[in-house]
Structure 1
């Protein structure tokens, strides 16, 4: 292997890096939000067609999908994020040919891991179902998705290594679109045309993950073909001073990927801990039937979680964007650039996540009613989960930062500490707080992990927390005001409208969201805080709104 230092890194200005982050974040945020919204909106007709069994169906869906998510993370083996990071590293050194070889060898790795994990999931479905026979066909229906999604995700990571986020964002939306169309069509046919069993509808709804993957693969194939000429030019004009053997490439992919498996699977691991501990713990402290426990489990594991993931997707979009940028800065040994990018991504996280989480808490009653029907318990769990979502979203961002600067070992250690805390306090939390217990345990454990990671970053890079404090306090204040306005609108309108109807919920939520979001946007523009985070383009928005500077 030739010496890497012989290559001349390309200099990237702070402004260019911030522009790339903003552009990438915009694409990934749009793709993630729209796909998440689409993945939540389908719930309205889906729950209606399932009927009185909707909570049972949601619980079954959650049980199958939690296990599937873990296997999918193992099958993708962290390769997409690893490829994104390594490609960005070699591209920063003007060694595009190495990035091309990385992708080709990554395909072999992802195809192999997909096959192994799909096989284990299919033949081990009975074991993973933990005695619930309805879970077995659900798990088997997901094996084809586990087989093909790793290679699809790998291709997304390849594009992200070039800081080209559009293919990933668009394919993500198309994947969700194909998936939702198949889910709704199959559920309507089974429940309304054939008057079949709700378990069959859930099985076809989970099989839709494979249909969605096919749609995504078609879009990625189109973009790969469309950009092939540009990539060939970059490879032809590379320094070509680094020669890496096939085995070295594969071992580098695996070495980089292993931490991504555990870090990326953190949310899935938390959900699996909940799935396998909630029922035995609740069985000891209550005398509820299996059906009643399934309903309670659905409230926090599926119903609230489905809506919270829309908010967390905002953080995921930032995380995907920051990894290749930080990797490129690390390759150039640009410590000041790394410090600035970490501060920037944290500020963007606060800017987006705080008002989104508090806003969701404010409109929790009407939004829960729209998606699932009125439930006081479901609304309370959604409110609490909205705040827990901040910690999960922050974990997504800060762990991505650690991966981007190759601090995988520390990240695994800190995440391991958090998961250990979760396991230790899970049963006591369920015994004391019952259905809220798993959420409380998750919040405490992730707070500890986030603190350890941020403290480590601060020790190494001396993050400018003092300079950030004024802006973060402003964001918090504006987010609280957004919550107050939206909550007052919700409470005021429900004085005159029934809390039980979906139409009334629509009437309530629209002015609450418009006024709440309007207050936040106005304050961010008026204070010029948005300019500091999003750049000079914000001034144009201010002019169009006829706001004085």
Structure 2
């Protein structure tokens, strides 16, 4: 009897230790991916300021629209080219590593490289030759797509290598290479646009094409960083392989089958946001031509505002969710492999709480400072319309980010077919609501229909996960109520700060200039962020979400 009690106690302690270890790994992985992703997204947004100044007031709106249309098509083709292989590799490598079969993971990576190279070549050729048929009536899109097809050659292999590192729950190489890739891309964009337009006085379409070709330049630098990391850690990986069980001998054909079967859902779900964007791109213009008598140039500007301008900034917020999703897939896969149902339930609950803790205040904070933030990046043209679109898009980023996370959870526990099915239902909702909403609300209609589609998909996925693995409803409900309340307090404080600062600055300077708007953005965001941080630290909710490490921040701020 005593022995049984001791065994149960040991088992419970082990489960608790595993749960805490997994939570710690998720936080560490999320931190690395968040830093890398956020810095990359910020760079990807900051470039727009000098880029806008180089193109000038007259050329920037149409250049931005052309860039956005080309990039949406490229993003979709790139996701297909990558074919979900990096995430599938991360999941399967984590699976075999959990079985102490590191050698199989290495073999899996090598076989995946062959697929990635082949998919890169094939997709680049398709993108190049299909360019004339993807113009949406604007032939200027053709050279832009041609320039982007070159990046498709390299990125699948680079992404696969990131997936291999992630399978070891080692997120730093991915995060750093992502940042370097973006830095190289932004530098090339800025320099090439400046040389073509200001020094050579060349064609603006050529300048846009070189700006999109920067994706290829960035990929080369990002890949070099990954190669350097692998070279430094090769001895460590060899040691793991040498000390493996080495009992599994998985045939090559089976490895390919595993990669492809796991990758296919990742393609569809990974392309989720891009598919919704493409629906907007190929329906918005036609619906608006029926609903309004706007000129083509006005439609191009309106499209660029919601699909380009707002999207660039809100994707910074969505990247928070993407970072969490990347970190959680290998951990869930490990728990699933070990048939640890409690571990899966805890992981899912912790993932939702961490998502809410980060995403809700980030989205509401961006909505609060939408006015000055928009003017900082895009100037005062269409000021009120652009700011309102950005504020609405910031709210829209919450269901989008939630989809990124919960679909990753589904894949981590091998519920791939269900995840795809629920996403397809979401797409159908988007298609059904697109025409009436765009007809009635214009650009805002595209955002509302996107929200509707993702909300339906999220509800179906969460219900399925809850039914299959359970969820700590009371715990999540308590956290949600507190996080939402603190986020709303932060929102109103930041909003008051924006109006107050604009009012005070108005006595001295024009508060709506780009420089003054930047100052207002930084100050209002800092005030709002401090309020949220203070409330979450004072209530101890930050400790429960992020662990004991936040005690240092509390001590520094003298918060009891």
TM-score normalized by structure 2?
0.95
1:460 pairs with one of 446, 465, 468 = 468
Give distance in 2, aligned partners of 1:266 and 1:29: 20
Give distance in 1, aligned partners of 2:489 and 2:202: 48
> What is the Cα deviation at residue 131 of structure 1?
2.4
> What is the Cα deviation at residue 544 of structure 1?
2.0
Partner of 1:191: 197
Count of aligned pairs: 539
Partner of 2:483: 475
- Confirm whether residue 271 of structure 1 aligns to residue 277 of structure 2: yes
Partner of 1:35: 40
Of 141-150 and 502-511, more deviation after overlay is shown by 502-511
Equivalent runs, 1:404-423 vs 2, <5 Å: 404-423=412-431
Give distance in 1, aligned partners of 2:175 and 2:122: 28
Partner of 2:28: 23
Equivalent runs, 1:130-529 vs 2, <5 Å: 130-374=136-380, 375-496=383-504, 497=506, 498-529=510-541
Of 274-283 and 196-205, more deviation after overlay is shown by 196-205
Give distance in 2, aligned partners of 1:319 and 1:504: 36
Of 498-507 and 203-212, more deviation after overlay is shown by 498-507
> What is the Cα deviation at residue 479 of structure 1?
0.4
Give distance in 2, aligned partners of 1:506 and 1:261: 38
Q: Secondary structure at the match of 1:229?
A: helix
> What is the Cα deviation at residue 396 of structure 1?
0.3
> What is the Cα deviation at residue 507 of structure 1?
2.6
Partner of 2:49: 44
Q: Secondary structure at the match of 1:494?
A: helix
1:109 pairs with one of 96, 99, 115 = 115
Q: Secondary structure at the match of 1:255?
A: helix
Q: Secondary structure at the match of 1:227?
A: helix
> What is the Cα deviation at residue 499 of structure 1?
4.6
Q: Secondary structure at the match of 2:327?
A: helix
> What is the Cα deviation at residue 190 of structure 1?
1.1
Give distance in 2, aligned partners of 1:211 and 1:235: 34
Give distance in 1, aligned partners of 2:443 and 2:523: 31
> What is the Cα deviation at residue 540 of structure 1?
1.8
> What is the Cα deviation at residue 179 of structure 1?
0.2
TM-score normalized by structure 1?
0.97
Q: Which runs of 5+ in 2 are unaligned?
A: 1-13
Give distance in 2, aligned partners of 1:534 and 1:131: 50
Q: Secondary structure at the match of 2:170?
A: coil
> What is the Cα deviation at residue 335 of structure 1?
0.4
CA offsets per residue over residues 376-413 of structure 1, 9 Å max, x none? 11001001000000010000000000000000000000
CA offsets per residue over residues 355-393 of structure 1, 9 Å max, x none? 100000000000000000121110010010000000100
- Confirm whether residue 58 of structure 1 aligns to residue 67 of structure 2: no
Give distance in 1, aligned partners of 2:180 and 2:41: 12
Q: Which runs of 5+ in 1 are unaligned?
A: 1-9
Give distance in 2, aligned partners of 1:255 and 1:307: 34
Give distance in 2, aligned partners of 1:46 and 1:435: 24
> What is the Cα deviation at residue 495 of structure 1?
2.1
Give distance in 2, aligned partners of 1:363 and 1:157: 35
Partner of 1:541: 553
CA offsets per residue over residues 290-344 of structure 1, 9 Å max, x none? 1111000001000000000000000000000000000000000000000001111
> What is the Cα deviation at residue 546 of structure 1?
2.0
CA offsets per residue over residues 12-37 of structure 1, 9 Å max, x none? 71111111101101100000000000
Equivalent runs, 1:111-126 vs 2, <5 Å: 111-126=117-132
> What is the Cα deviation at residue 500 of structure 1?
3.0
- Superposed CA RMSD in Å reads 1.0
Give distance in 2, aligned partners of 1:222 and 1:426: 47
Q: Secondary structure at the match of 2:503?
A: coil
Give distance in 2, aligned partners of 1:249 and 1:90: 12
